[in-house]
Amino acid sequence: MKKFTATAAILLAGASPSAFAQASSTPDAAIAEPAAEKESSSSGIQEIIVTAQRREERLQDVPVSITALSGSALDSRGVDQTLELGSAVPGLLISISSISVQPYIRGIGNAGFGPGNDPSVATYVDDVYQSAPMGLLFSLNNIERIEVLKGPQGTLFGRNATGGLINVITSVPTSKTEIRAGVGYANFDTFSANAYVAGGSDIVAGDLAVTYSKQSDGWGRNLFQEGQQGVVLVNGVPTPNPPVRRDVGVMEQLGLSSKLVFTPTDRTSVILSGRYIYTNSDQGLYRRQLPGAVLTGPRIGGVVQPFTSTGGGFYDINSDVDWFYRVNQYQASLKVEQELGFATVKSISSFLRATSEQSVPSDANPNPTDSGVSVPRAAWRTWTQEIQLLSNDSSPDWLQWIVGGFYLNQRAGYAPTRLFTGQYFQVQDRFGYQTNESLSAFGQATFSLGEATKLTVGGRYTSDRLETEQWFVGRLAPGNTSALGASATNGVITNVIPPTHTRQSSPTWRISLDHKFTPDIMGYVSVNKGYKAGSYNLLGNPPGATTPTPAVDPETLLAFEGGVKSDLFDRRVRLNISGYYYDYKDLQIQASIGSPPVSYLANAAAARVYGLDFDTAWAVTDHLTLSYSGSLINAKFKKYDNAVIAVPNGYSTIVNGNQVLLTTLATAPGNVLIPGPARPNYGNINVILPDLSGYHLPRAPKFTSTATIDWRIPLGDGEATASASWYHNSGFAWEAANRVREDKYDTVSAQLGYSFAGDHLRMSLWVKNLFEKKYYSFKYITTSGDVGSPAAPRTFGVALDWKM
């Protein structure tokens, strides 16, 4: 035991991240079921075991559209953190906005970025719901597999899975001793390391995984120079700008996870897990002026001038304030499983605490006195408890069932968000919290109708109680006046919004019918209803408000889907295809209100979405595998009345391919101009359009695809590997008015490696975004103008992995 502990300590002392996924690689793009593996030997496409229906099943037997990838499959696609998952899963798009990671599946997602504005795509790690959206940013360490479930999963997974689910499964330690470690170095002075140790006895086993990485050189530079904004006077005294960091696009991450498994009998299992995530970065958050945008610019002698050019290269910015986000997340969970004879009972308990701090200069320009800087300090505290009762082998062959209940108690909010409004250095601290108590009961049963046909029926009822309280504290530089009135009174608590609550509830259900045409070909049809809870807008209240903006209504989605899953030619070829139609109501869309405008979440009336997904794989030989997957989406609003949109000052949005003058639009019947700060032809201004019917939903590319090649070649006493992945995105709109768009783009990643004799040591070379395609990971529309966050440039490096 002392030797084991000492070895672990030595390994962990030098440990960190990116090579870890490579160290845990296996030659399969999935987890192999032992029986299936024995039957097929090493030939063909191995079986994939998933838990999409809260029990282990073959991927090809589950009547749900799923993309399942093992750690080695993610490695071959160049994916080592959650933000990169979209390049491996067509139809999935992930970006960062303010304090949240925002996943979209088939055009369904949530652009809200405040605490309590939960995603429409749920994320689970080892059966535990991840309630803090910034906690979704982590390196993929010790990953057994990731399952992406497409379409609403409200019956078995519950709240906030309208668009789908990202299910992350990590390794469970056994009595077998495992030790793995890796180090890596990449351009932009990026160092990474990782380690994993596991072992124990048949009764008690444990593990510890560590991953760390630090990128010291930025993708770009902050070109801001002291004095370029003119002389800034505070109480008549010239005041220098605080120094800014020159490198932008940097990252530091630390991840720790551990499991303790106690198995006193073959009928009882207890798993105690802990996770810690730390991130300090500005990647995906820092923004630069978009081409053609005219931002509000330097204030010289009290006169605001347009700011028309950031200067520098694509990855450079010109900002007088640093961009950053820092995230700390702690999570503990306890999973108990007990065989009762007639069934299996599972208890899953978890506690999560997360904090996030950011600096977000909304104007993205070098002017210290214009527009504003927000410094959100957000916090989440979440308790969850789930009970499941599942059928086991004692149930009749014609019936599988599960019943259960789920409870969530979450308090999330700003503590505080500090707003530097830019008008004479007035500062406003906004405090706001939302408490949510959610209780649900669910059940699902699968009936065998003969030898080849199954009928699945399930339902869930969810009840949410939402409560909010908010207040402002104004802070003002001495001697300066405020344009915000009482809400910026120095040091005084004002505009108190007393505790306010509301209740929301909804049933969700699922019906599916599947049929095995042959042992290797299954077809299915399903109807499924999803539900996402509403929320209060913690920042969606204009200055001076004493009552909250009404809570956003829940959104619902009715999904019709049919598909075929097939393994052909002695399991040399896999073809899975599914088509779907969504009736989407009460969409939660990001909008703005007030003067100066404040972002908030609002309901749009309705939308419809239809499309097609396909996954193909071909085991050409035992050493060469080709795969190609794609997603086609057509997502449009059916009705969206009185939509608040931001347009360039002086122009409206695009109407029939032409830009219409704002003055013309404002006088047109049914259009209303929202008053804003008096600014001559720069920045954006808000306009209400009577109907956005027929406009595309945001972040719903018409076509995305991924093609990969994996080649393993026996060479000498070891094995050489070569893999490459090509991702295509046809482009999409970033906001409801479809004015700000992302053009189509393609990226290529590749990796070369060699495993020495015994497979204990592996060296690899890798590259991402090989041809350095310039595109944006996020675009944002502010009153100051249109800005965007550059996606990663070409990165490349070397990794060395060792395992025992």
Shared domain for 648 and 591, answered yes or no, is no
pLDDT, residue 20, reads: 31
Average pLDDT over residues 706-724: 95
136: nearest Cα among 154, 150, 118, 163: 118
Digit-coded pLDDT (tens) for 149-164: 999 998 998 777 899 9
Q: With contact defined as beta carbons under 8 Å apart, do 766 and 801 qualify?
A: no
The answer on pLDDT for 533 being more than 90 is no
List CB contacts of 506: < 8 A, sequence separation 6 or more: 461, 462, 531, 554, 556
The CATH number of whichever domain residue 784 belongs to comes to 2.40.170.20
549 vs 775, higher pLDDT: 775
- Report the sign of the C-alpha dihedral through residues 473, 477, 479, 480, in that order: negative
Question: C-alpha angle with apex 85: 256 to 557, nearest 5 degrees?
Answer: 110
The answer on pLDDT for 610 being more than 70 is yes
Domain C-terminal end among 691, 725, 750: 691
pLDDT, residue 529, reads: 94
Digit-coded pLDDT (tens) for 356-370: 888 777 555 555 544
Give 3-state DSSP helix, strand, coil % of the chain, rounded to 5: 5, 60, 35
Percent of the chain with pLDDT over 90: 52
Digit-coded pLDDT (tens) for 4-58: 333 333 333 333 333 333 333 333 333 333 333 333 345 688 888 999 999 999 9
Shared domain for 685 and 696, answered yes or no, is no
602-612 as b/e: b if 16+ CB within 10 A: bbbbebebebb
Average pLDDT over residues 400-415: 93
621-648 as b/e: b if 16+ CB within 10 A: eeeebebbbbbbbebbbeebebbbbbbb
- Number of C-beta neighbours around residue 45 at 10 A: 22
Q: Is 752 helix (H, G, I), strand (E, B) or coil?
A: strand
Shared domain for 611 and 677, answered yes or no, is no
- Number of C-beta neighbours around residue 711 at 10 A: 16
pTM above 0.85, yes or no: yes
Q: How confident is the model at residue 209 (pLDDT cuts 50, 70, 90)?
A: very high
pLDDT, residue 707, reads: 97
The answer on pLDDT for 509 being more than 70 is yes
Domain C-terminal end among 674, 691, 708: 691
Shared domain for 348 and 388, answered yes or no, is yes
Average pLDDT over residues 678-692: 67
Shared domain for 315 and 396, answered yes or no, is yes
The answer on pLDDT for 238 being more than 80 is no
The answer on pLDDT for 241 being more than 90 is no
214: β partners = 191, 252
Shared domain for 740 and 791, answered yes or no, is yes
Q: With contact defined as beta carbons under 8 Å apart, do 413 and 430 qualify?
A: no
Q: With contact defined as beta carbons under 8 Å apart, do 646 and 686 qualify?
A: yes
Distance of CA 95 to the CA centre of its chain: 6
List CB contacts of 550: < 8 A, sequence separation 6 or more: none
Ranking 127-141, 235-249, 608-622, 705-719 by mean pLDDT, the lowest is 235-249
Digit-coded pLDDT (tens) for 167-193: 999 999 999 999 999 999 999 999 999
DSSP 248-267: ES-EEEEEEEEEEEEEEETT
Round to whole Å and give the CA distance between 769 and 106.
Answer: 24
Round to whole Å and give the CA distance between 315 and 60.
Answer: 43
Q: Is 569 left (phi over 0), alpha (psi -120 to 50) or beta?
A: left
Shared domain for 685 and 760, answered yes or no, is no
Q: Is 61 helix (H, G, I), strand (E, B) or coil?
A: helix
Average pLDDT over residues 60-81: 89
Q: Quick one: tokens of 618?
A: 């071909």
6: nearest Cα among 197, 151, 142: 197
- What mean pLDDT is reported for the chain? 81
Shared domain for 557 and 599, answered yes or no, is yes
Element (H, E) at 244: none
Average pLDDT over residues 579-595: 82
CA within 13 Å, CB half, 789: 25
Shared domain for 739 and 686, answered yes or no, is no
pLDDT, residue 6, reads: 37
Shared domain for 533 and 633, answered yes or no, is yes
- Number of C-beta neighbours around residue 575 at 10 A: 15
Shared domain for 669 and 783, answered yes or no, is no
Shared domain for 601 and 508, answered yes or no, is yes
pLDDT, residue 432, reads: 81
Q: How confident is the model at residue 545 (pLDDT cuts 50, 70, 90)?
A: low
Domain C-terminal end among 691, 722, 752: 691
367 vs 220, higher pLDDT: 220
Digit-coded pLDDT (tens) for 333-344: 999 999 998 999
Q: Is 92 exposed, middle or buried (0-12, 13-18, 19+ CB in 10 A)?
A: buried
The count of structural domains within the chain is: 2
Round to whole Å and give the CA distance between 205 and 349.
Answer: 20
707 vs 539, higher pLDDT: 707
pLDDT, residue 469, reads: 84
Range of the domain at 671: 641-691
Q: How confident is the model at residue 289 (pLDDT cuts 50, 70, 90)?
A: confident
Element (H, E) at 172: none
Round to whole Å and give the CA distance between 400 and 344.
Answer: 12
